[in-house]
Amino acid sequence: MPYVYHLLTGDWIDEITRLPNKKFAEKVFEELKNSPETFFVLNVKLDFQAADQNALNFVLSRVSSVIKHSVRIPKDFVFKLDGNNFSIVIHGISEVEAHKIANRIKDSLHYLLLTYGSEKIQIDCEIDISTIGGVRDGDRNKV
C-alpha cells in the first residue's frame, strides 16, 4: 500500500505533466528487473528550445499528452523523469512493435509545432529502446 499512498498524496507525481515521476519509476524498475516477463522500456529524450520556464512547462505538458495518447493507458506506464526526459514501460509486444511505437511517438513529436505566445517551438527527440525483466528461475541466483 505504500506505493498507492505516495501516488495519492502526489509525492510520486510530476507537478507539470501529472505523470508518475522518477521516484515512482525507480520503484517500478526495481520490481520489474526480476520479473519472468520481459518489458520494453522506451526512454524519450526531448530536444527543444524554450524561452523561459513557462514555455518549458507548456511544452512538457503537451508532450506528455502526445505520449499518453500513443500508448495503451493504463496497461503501459508513462513516467516523467528528470529534465526533458520521459520513460515508457510496455508489456506484451514484440521488438518490432516497440520500434513502431517509438517511431510513431518520434514522428508525432517532430510534426508537433507548438506556439507559446509569439514563440514557435519545434520538438526533436531521441528514443532508446531496452528491455527489463525476462529473468528465468536459474538466472535469479547468478552472481
* Identity at 26, one-letter amino acid code: E
Q: For 125-141, b where at least 16 C-beta lie within 10 A, e where not — what string? A: bebeeeebbebeeeeee
Going from N- to C-terminal start, the domains of the chain cover 2-133
Structure confidence at residue 64 (pLDDT): 96
Per the structure block, which three cell numbers stand in for 20?
508518475
**Fold for the domain defined by 2-133:** Alpha-Beta Plaits (3.30.70)
pLDDT per residue as tens, the chain (143 positions): 577 777 778 889 999 999 999 999 999 999 999 999 999 999 999 999 999 999 999 999 999 999 999 988 778 999 999 999 999 999 999 999 999 999 999 999 999 989 999 999 999 999 999 999 998 765 544 43
| Phi and psi angles of residue 44, each rounded to the nearest 5 degrees, phi first | -100, 120
Residue 32 CA to residue 36 CA, distance in Å, equals 9
From 49, 119, 116, select the one nearest 84 (Cα to Cα). 49
Task: Give the 3-state secondary structure of residue 38.
Answer: strand
Whole-angstrom CA distances from 28 to 54, 63, 106, 110 are 30, 22, 24, 29
Structure confidence at residue 8 (pLDDT): 79
Residue 67 CA to residue 45 CA, distance in Å, equals 12
Could you tell me if residue 10 is left (phi over 0), alpha (psi between -120 and 50 degrees) or otherwise beta? Answer: left
User: The pTM is what?
Assistant: 0.89
From 131, 18, 28, select the one nearest 80 (Cα to Cα). 18
